[in-house]
Amino acid sequence: MNEDKIFYEAVSIYIEDNLKVYSNKINENKDNLEEVRDNFIKSCRFFLNSKIKELNFIITDTLINDLQNRIQLKSNELK
């Protein structure tokens, strides 16, 4: 379970940092907000999938669902 917490924190930090990057892109590209939002979600999902494979963690369904919910909440902030 400790590995799950470490992984969760790493992903949370990535999502927060990624949100800052995409927030700047929103300010620069207000005409394509949906595209920016979609790219944010894709980027977070790609990171999540690559880290699961790279670190070879056994992640519980609950943790994955929680992370996906966080990504969705953050993407909703971009709307």
Per-residue pLDDT of 54-71, as tens digits, reads 665 555 666 777 777 887
Q: Is 75 helix (H, G, I), strand (E, B) or coil?
A: helix
11-20: per-residue pLDDT in tens?
778 778 877 7
In DSSP notation, 30-66 reads: GGGHHHHHHHHHHHHHHHHHHHHHHHT----HHHHHH
The DSSP 8-state label assigned to residue 78 in this structure reads T
Q: Which two tokens stand for residue 34?
A: 């949906």
How many Cα atoms sit within 13 Å of 10 on the Cβ side?
13
The predicted model scores a pTM of 0.50
